[in-house]
Amino acid sequence: MQMNEVNNLNEDDKIHGQKCKKRDQDARQAALQRWNILREVILSGRGGGGDDSVSVRRFKSYGLLSTNKVTVDADSPDTARNWFIYTCPSQPDFSMQIRHLSDHVTPEALRGFNNTGNVCVWPSEEVMTYYCLKHPDVFRNKCVIELGGGMTCLTGVSLGLQSAASYIELTDGNEDSVSNLQVIVERNLPKAKAELSSKLLRWGSGPLDADLAGKFDIVLCADCLFFKEGRQDLITTIHDLLKPDGEAWLFAPKRGETFDEFVVQARSQFLVTVQQIYDDQIWKLHTQMESLGQDHYDADIHYPWFIHLTPLPGPSREDSSER
Ligand SMILES: C[S@@+](CC[C@H](N)C(=O)[O-])C[C@H]1O[C@@H](n2cnc3c(N)ncnc32)[C@H](O)[C@@H]1O
pLDDT (tens digit per residue) in 239-256: 999 999 999 999 999 999
Pocket lining: 123 vs ligand 1, CB cutoff 6 Å: no
The answer to whether residue 47 scores a pLDDT higher than 80 is no
Is the distance from CB of 220 to CB of 132 less than 8 angstroms? yes
**pLDDT bucket at 187, cuts 50 / 70 / 90:** very high
pLDDT score recorded for residue 196: 97
- For residue 149, how far is its CA from the centre of ligand 1 (angstroms)? 6
Choice among 204-208, 217-221, 300-304, 315-319 with the minimum mean pLDDT? 315-319
- For residue 72, how far is its CA from the centre of ligand 1 (angstroms)? 30
Domain containing residue 132? 3-320
pLDDT score recorded for residue 302: 95
CATH code for the domain in which residue 303 is found: 3.40.50.150
Query: To 5 degrees, how large is the angle CA 38–CA 41–CA 46?
Result: 150
The answer to whether residue 299 scores a pLDDT higher than 60 is yes
pLDDT score recorded for residue 115: 86
Pocket lining: 301 vs ligand 1, CB cutoff 6 Å: no
Average pLDDT over residues 307-317: 81
pLDDT score recorded for residue 17: 65
Q: pTM here?
A: 0.85
Average pLDDT over residues 198-219: 95
Is the distance from CB of 19 to CB of 86 less than 8 angstroms? no
The answer to whether residue 297 scores a pLDDT higher than 50 is yes
pLDDT score recorded for residue 52: 39
Pocket lining: 121 vs ligand 1, CB cutoff 6 Å: yes
- Report which protein residue has its CA nearest ligand 1's atom 14: 148
Average pLDDT over residues 118-122: 92
Residues 6+ apart with CB under 8 A from 153: 146, 170, 171, 172, 181, 184, 198
Q: How many structural domains are present in the chain?
A: 1
Identify which of 224, 227, 228, 238 to mutate to test ligand 1's pocket (most ligand atoms within 8 A of the CB).
224
Average pLDDT over residues 161-167: 97
Q: How far apart are CA 309 and CA 50, in angstroms?
A: 31
For the segment 122-137, what is each residue's pLDDT rounded down to a tens digit?
999 999 999 999 999 9
What SS3 state is found at 184? helix
- Report which protein residue has its CA nearest ligand 1's atom 12: 148
Atom of ligand 1 nearest to the CA of 233: 19
- Who has greater pLDDT, 28 or 71? 71
Q: What is the mean pLDDT of the chain?
A: 86
- Report which protein residue has its CA nearest ligand 1's atom 26: 117
